[in-house]
Amino acid sequence: MDYKKIIGILGGMGPAATVDLFDKIVKAAKVNRDQDHPRIIVDNNPKIPDRTTAILEKGPSPLPMMVQSAKLLEMVHVDFIIIPCVTAHYYHAQLQEQIATPILHIVKETMKYLLLRYPNARKVGLIASSGTVYSGLFDEACKKAKVELLKPSSETQTAKVMKAVYGIKATGPSDESRALAREAAETLIRSGAQVIIAGCTEIPLVLVDGDLSVPVIDPIAVLAERAVMEAR
């Protein structure tokens, strides 16, 4: 397979998710030798302000630094950009307005995958950051797809999902974060979820397909596959 396009990764949100995306791109590429892999340029900038805090109006906007990183990638002539942070896609349209290089959209790609792979799913559970939940990124997409979106209660969101997310960001995946993510997902399954979307890019580090009684969709894996296809 000949990969002609250069992939740009606007990373650092967080670093572990950026590494996960890079790893999944490498594994998704069909190659026989090192030289066959697509070229990837990464700006891993963990100084970008917290997206959830900004969306909840409790902190500075990450957009200026996201634009800075995107322009840096544009300067080195990447052909398209991907972002391993679901919540950051709240700023996708504003970011795209300021650069010419196309930016793939992780939520749109995830929904395409959901509809293709699980066309009969009518109820989908979302395990994501509070910023993603509050932003309504998946709500709008699911409404268009005529799929009911189930989300954790506010108590579960704070005590389990966000505790797992920030725990992974702080110390990496742990038994505690795995248990918390799984417990949150189980509440959605009991409410009728037929598929779970691991809608924060830290969550697939502790919750993968096969862990639950229903399928788990990993948006990072979906984005990696899409990036590999685009690089052809």
pLDDT tens sequence across 139-151: 989 999 999 999 9
Out of 2.130.10.30, 3.30.70.100, 3.40.50.1860, 3.40.50.10470, the CATH code matching 106-219 is: 3.40.50.1860
Delimit the domains of the chain by residue range: 7-105+221-231, 106-219
Q: What is the dihedral of CA 125, 194, 107, 150, to 10 degrees?
A: -30
The pLDDT assigned to 183 comes to 97
Q: What is the structure's pLDDT at 140?
A: 87
What's the CATH class of domain 7-105+221-231? alpha beta
**What is the arithmetic mean of pLDDT over 194-216?**
95
- What does the pLDDT average to over 192-209? 94
Query: How confident is the model at residue 2, as a pLDDT?
Result: 80
Average pLDDT over the chain reads 95
Of 85, 124, 181, 195, which one is the catalytic site residue?
85
pLDDT tops 90 at residue 174: yes
36-47: pLDDT as tens digits: 999 999 999 999
What is the structure's pLDDT at 155? 96
pLDDT number for residue 201: 84
> 7-105+221-231 and 106-219: same fold?
yes
Structure tokens at 77: 């002539």
**Contact status, residue 88 vs residue 51, Cβ threshold 8 Å:** yes
Instruction: Enter the pTM of the model.
Output: 0.92
Percent of the chain with pLDDT over 90: 90
User: pLDDT tens digits for 91-139?
Assistant: 999 999 999 999 999 999 999 999 999 999 999 999 999 999 998 999 9
Task: Give me the pLDDT at residue 109, please.
Answer: 97
Active site (annotated) includes residue 142: no
Task: Write down the catalytic residue from 55, 86, 114, 200.
Answer: 200
